[in-house]
A = this chain, B = another copy of it.
Amino acid sequence: MKRSIEDTPVVMVGAGNLATNLAKALYKRGFRIVQVYSRTMEAAQALAVQVEAEATASVADITDMGRLYVVALKDDVVAGLLPRLVAGRENALWVHTAGSLSIDIWDGLVGRYGVLYPLQTFSKRREIDFDDIPIFIEAHLPEDRDLLKGIAQILSRKVYEATSSQRECLHLAAVFTCNFTNYMYVLAARLLDKYGLPFDVLLPLIDETANKMHKLSPEEAQTGPAKRHDGNVIGHHLELLADEADIQAVYRILSDFISKEK
């Protein structure tokens, strides 16, 4: 019987937002998730039950039955944990999922390694369709690159190869596009709350601001008082924010930079 790519047994190392969404997407497309590791048994179990996998909170108990190990942990714990993770499991393909970590973190630890980076924001409470999520892959060996590409293409129609430095730039751009944008929503919600106004009146504006990007470049889409060099409104807004020093500082720096744009 011909083995298909979905028969690759997968071990998910991590059970956070990205790990949860990725494991569920792999499971849905027919992959067998054999085990989920997390620092806490509770988190491991919460994901494991959703993908019919074993759960463990002990690195020593991570199975050696995996052929693909997906490491989706906080960036700042990955490096320290890797030697213990791979020990005794050196023949499998190891990938991490982090935008900002180089492929070189694997160098010297294992022979088969790479990166599988889905460019999206994940929350455990929101299930995401992987179809349109750009996935950027990188691998040390050409045959593993092909395997990773095959796996990624089962998840998404948008699979690209990217070097570590391109991926780093993608991640940085994503911080602006997603994390900082979301923080603008946080500040807006705080302002509305202060005046007893509900956040959901902003939803059509939030949607349209995003939708515009499908038709216009960000430069073409830029509007607002700073873009119009409307000093009256800017001055008035800074006054309104007089007792919100942090929000005022954000308003000031962004308005300054927008005004400076050609």
Contacts and interface: CB of A to CB of B under 8 A. Distances in A.
Contact of A125 (B123, B216, B230, B249): B216
Protomer copies:
2
Contact of A126 (B166, B201, B212, B254): B212
B213 A203 contact: yes
Given A126-B216, A222-B183, A254-B250, A233 B133 contact: no
A87 interface: no
Given A121-B223, A169-B191, A205-B120, A74 B230 contact: yes
Contact of A221 (B123, B177, B246): B123
A92 interface: no
B191 A176 contact: yes
A145 to B, nearest CB: 19
Nearest to A202: B177
A200 to B, nearest CB: 9
Contact of A199 (B171, B217, B225, B237): B217
Interface string A187-221: 11101101111010111111111101111111111
Nearest to A227: B179
A2 interface: no
A170 interface: yes
A174 B237 CA distance: 12
Given A75-B233, A197-B170, A233-B75, A179 B223 contact: yes
Interface of A: 17, 74-76, 100, 119-123, 125-126, 128, 132-134, 158, 160, 165-166, 168-189, 191-192, 194-197, 199, 201-210, 212-228, 230-233, 236-237, 240-241, 246, 249-251, 253-254, 257-258, 260-261
9 contacts: A123-B220, A160-B201, A169-B192, A176-B184, A181-B209, A186-B222, A199-B217, A203-B214, A253-B253
